[in-house]
Amino acid sequence: MKPASRLLFTAAAAVAAILLAGCETVPETGRRQLNFLSPDQELQMGITAFEQIKKEQKIADDPIKNAAIQRVGRRIAEAVGDDVEDAEWEFVLFEDDTPNAFALPGGKVGVHTGLFDVVESDDELAIVLGHEIAHVTASHGAERYSQSMLAALGGLALGTALSGEDESTRRLAMAAYGLGASVGVMLPYSRLNESEADEIGLIYAARAGYDPRAALSFWKRMKAVSEESGKPPEWLSTHPSDDTRIRRLEALMPRMLEIYEKARGEEPPA
């Protein structure tokens, strides 16, 4: 076996071994995913990152907004239950005009003050917090990290296989590989993660007794906000289009309403 072929075979074997070792199951949906990070690694990375964010960004002291994220956040945390291990829940309001929120492993949740320019109720706030926390319970950050590692290994294997080719051929092939990995794999998986977080987040919100129909009013309002700033086409975006997202939320609504009615101790409508 030639040295280049041997290296390629070794790289392929390593990729196969990593794939077999790195498969896990997403809570609530049961989807199999690639994840090379251990729960302890994720936890430590989340705590470290959140402490750094608190040092770098201004923490808001608005009593009404703070009370809202504590009130809604605690109920969502109870609904999450064992989907987050070793969580020390912390909900922090940051002074930032962008309508955004985020969550990190370990139960660390940040909310921008600008989110309250779009959110109009506790139900809508629960939709947002549920979505962000769902990214953590589904290990989406670790999954994207793992996919990046795998793509890098694939690029290494391709580069080895092309070692005998001329420079222009290698450059063209590597550029095509990079574009294909991004548009054909990484971006679609990012959109899948967003849709999955929508679904899991709705489960958490409904289980906590918040009306899941608030997701429709919230995302329709977010659509109006995003249209003002302009967005790339869906196939070049990390997120599904607003119209796609709203259609999927509407399709999920019957099941989410059953969870909601059960949480409220009521019979679902016939």
Q: What is the pLDDT of residue 38?
A: 84
Phi and psi for 125 in degrees, rounded to 5?
Answer: -60, -40
Provide the token pair at 1: 């076996």
Q: Which two tokens stand for residue 7?
A: 């290296």
> Residue 198: which of 124, 139, 127 has the closest Cα?
127
Judge whether 187 and 238 are in contact, CB under 8 Å: yes
Q: In this structure, what token pair is assigned to residue 26?
A: 């997403």
234 as an active site residue: the answer is no
C-alpha 232/C-alpha 105 separation (Å) is 29
- Catalytic residue, from 24, 42, 124, 132: name it: 132
- Six token digits for residue 90: 């912390």
The pTM score is: 0.76
Angle at 47 between CA 42 and CA 52, to 5 degrees: 125
- Return per-residue pLDDT of the chain as tens, 270 residues: 444 444 444 444 444 444 444 578 888 888 898 888 888 888 898 899 999 999 999 999 999 999 999 999 999 999 998 777 778 999 999 999 999 999 998 899 999 999 999 999 999 999 999 999 999 999 888 887 776 666 666 556 655 666 666 666 656 655 554 544 454 444 444 678 889 999 999 999 999 999 999 999 999 998 887 765 556 544 335 567 888 899 999 999 999 999 999 999 865 554
The DSSP bridge pattern shows strands 90-94 and 32-34 to be: unpaired
Q: Contact 239/190 with Cβ under 8 angstroms?
A: yes
Listed in sequence order, the residues at least 6 apart from 77 whose beta carbon sits closer than 8 Å to its beta carbon are 84, 87, 89, 107, 133
